[in-house]
Amino acid sequence: MNWVRESRVALTALTLFTLLAGDFWRYLLSWWGWGIVVAVLLAGWIALAIKTRVNPRRIPIALAAFILVAALSTIWSAYPLTTLLAVSTTVATVFVGVIMAATVSLEQLLRALGVAIRWIIGLSLVFEFVVAAIVRGPVLPLWVDYTPPIPRAFYWSRAELFEVFDGGRIQGMVGNANLLATAAALGLIVFAIQLVDRRVPVVTAWFWVGAAGLTLLLTQSATITIALAGCAFTLGVIMLARRLDRRRRRMLYTGSVGIGVVGTGTAIALREPLLELLGRSSDLTNRLDIWESVIGLWAERPAFGWGWVSYWAPWVEPYSDLAVINGVTYLQAHSAWLDVAMQLGVVGLALFTVVVVTAVLRCASWSTDPAEGELAHTPALRLLPALIMTLLVVQSFAESRMLVEGGLVLFTFFAVASMRAGLPPIAPSPRVSVGAPGRASP
């Protein structure tokens, strides 16, 4: 049944590519083309769920409760039809994450992520080089007809590859510097694990580690830089925890939380010099204005919010003019936590907090204290859940990506798979022996 395992890896890789680089399909094929791609992928996951008899109800109670509240918000929503549409897309995305967690092993996810991110990084670097060296001018998405003057944010690529030392940032084939930086950060984690475990040839592994690092430098994302610092902190805590008994681990975790709180407070107090060091404005690139508007809207409906909308729908109030800056209508709160609070109120925010905290704790336990069935996972592979979860959570304070597309699928995968009873079967772990010239699966 090797072909079944390989088809799952291929389906997972294509799904992650599509969800992490959604704008690539939308810019290239239009929203209708993107919808067809997504529909085909969803059909593939439904077929897999039926074939393997997956029970989709086997998800954390807190996550199920959060989705239920989002669905019920259609009742009190200020835009019920839009909420119904948003709930449908959210449920479909979570469904894919649940089926993925039930049918794809951790090793298979690593391989699929590696394939998807190699394509994203590789295509992005080639795309930016062609635009900067051959086209020599900004490129707009296909299937659009903007009226000048066109805001910078509307361009697929601004042809800034050769201007990075003068403040330019590449956006890649995903059309957004922060999205490309997120993919590169995920790649750095995945490729480093593959390198340590010799899952791909050493030269290949180092090449892609270097490509991911180069992409991070060219995107210059302050948010992802901070998120990677958080990943480094998590890595240090896990490596130390693995050397301690359970009692000392609890002390370590308590101390780590304290350090994290103090560090966050210090970063907030010293935000201006830190942002200057990272090359960002003191208003967090307009985020303070957006947050102020979102908090004001939340205050009008504090208990249950305005109704679930996921990414903001620009065709309904209050999102059509909630955050318009330099001619660009922003479609997220640039904070998953504020987005949840505004859309689902205190009730939704409480549930979301429980979902995130419990998932993070389970992933930390998964990474440090494996159950008997997980002993086949290498120490490096068991770092994957905690590191990716750290990346998602830290990013969630400045971006809302964890609520949609790739961020939501990855979060759902780890939230479900980290439940001991719900772990997917362990697949063989192909690795390249040191010094061996043989091939390994990507």
Residue 438 inside a domain? The answer is no
Domain tally, the chain: 1
Rounded to an integer, the average pLDDT of 384-405 is: 93
Q: What is the DSSP string of 245-309?
A: -HHHHHHHHHHHHHHHHHHHHHHHHTHHHHHHHTT--TTTTTHHHHHHHHHHHHHHSTTT-S---
| Residue 339 confidence (pLDDT) above 90 | yes
Residue 434 falls within a domain, yes or no?
A: no
Residue (of 76, 93, 118) closest to 303 by Cα position: 76
Q: How far apart (Å, rounded) are the C-alpha atoms in residues 286 and 272?
A: 14
Identify whether 428 is part of a domain. Answer: no
pLDDT of residue 278: 60
* Residue 262 within any structural domain of the chain: yes
* Residues with Cβ within 8 Å of residue 237, at least 6 apart in sequence: 252, 253, 256
- In the prediction, which pLDDT does 274 show? 63
Does residue 439 lie within any of the structural domains?
no
Structural domain harbouring 74: 2-422
Residue 273 token pair: 């010099």
> Is 432 part of a structural domain of the chain?
no
Query: Distances from the Cα of 12 to the Cαs of 8, 220, 414, in angstroms?
Result: 6, 28, 14
> How many angstroms separate the CA atoms of 356 and 67, rounded?
13
pLDDT in tens, 175-214: 999 999 999 999 999 999 999 998 989 999 999 999 999 9
The arithmetic mean of pLDDT across residues 327-337, rounded, is: 86
pLDDT in tens, 341-372: 999 999 999 999 999 999 998 888 888 876 54
Q: How far is CA 263 from CA 260, 271, 387, in A?
A: 5, 12, 19
In a domain, 440, yes or no: no
End-to-end CA distance of the chain: 19
Q: What is the pLDDT of residues 122-181, one digit of tens each?
A: 999 999 999 999 998 899 988 887 878 888 888 899 988 888 887 789 999 999 999 999
Asked, for residue 441, whether it belongs to a domain, the answer is no
CB 61 within 8 A of CB 359: no
Q: How confident is the model at residue 391 (pLDDT cuts 50, 70, 90)?
A: very high
Q: What is the pLDDT of residue 267?
A: 64
Q: Give the mean model confidence (pLDDT) for residues 236-258.
A: 81
Q: Residues 261-313: pLDDT tens digits? A: 777 667 666 656 666 666 665 556 677 888 888 999 999 999 999 999 998 98
Kindly tell me if the per-residue pLDDT of 90 is higher than 70.
Answer: yes
